Amino acid sequence: MADIFVSAPGEVVAFEMQATVGRVNIPAELKDPELISNRPAPLIFSSTKWDQRTSQQFATSLDGSVYIYVFGDQMGTVVIVGLAFNLCDKEENGLQTVLDYYKTNRASERSSPIEVAIADEVVEGFLTGASIRSVGSATDPASMLHEYSLEISALP
């Protein structure tokens, strides 16, 4: 039986394998500008959350009827969560890629909205937050795995 997990804890290992090329659908992707511009990349999208709401007021009457007054749409929120790491055979640093992306494209630096593709929808918004959580060895910072989160305030 082959050893599959032969790496040390906290390290990412790549294996050369013969396989048929396939396509994986990612639930969401930053489209403009791209966060992941080439494959393989030291970044993975792991989850996406999109909240969008309307702005309304409900009024009840004495006869039990309920009236709704709609005032348009509110700003929404898109949160993209993923993993960042270093590729073993390349000089790419996933954490630095995320930090550079936030620094360049945050709302205080970029006046135009960015685009996020969620299924067939393209949501526009402004990058308003980022957070990083690092997990790994205290004795070897190079082997750390980083979880990142990007928050986008979505236009109605």
Stretches in the chain below the pLDDT threshold 50: 1-2, 20-25
pLDDT digit string (tens) for 15-53? 565 554 444 445 567 777 778 777 677 888 888 899 999
Cβ neighbourhood burial of 81 (10 Å; 0-12, 13-18, 19+): middle
Residue 19 within any structural domain of the chain: no
Q: What is the pLDDT of residue 85?
A: 81
- CATH number of the domain to which 143 belongs: 2.40.30
Domain of residue 106: give its range. 28-154
What pLDDT is stored for residue 23 in this prediction? 41
* Predicted local confidence at residue 137, as pLDDT: 64
* Residue 117 located in a structural domain: yes
Number of structural domains in the chain = 1
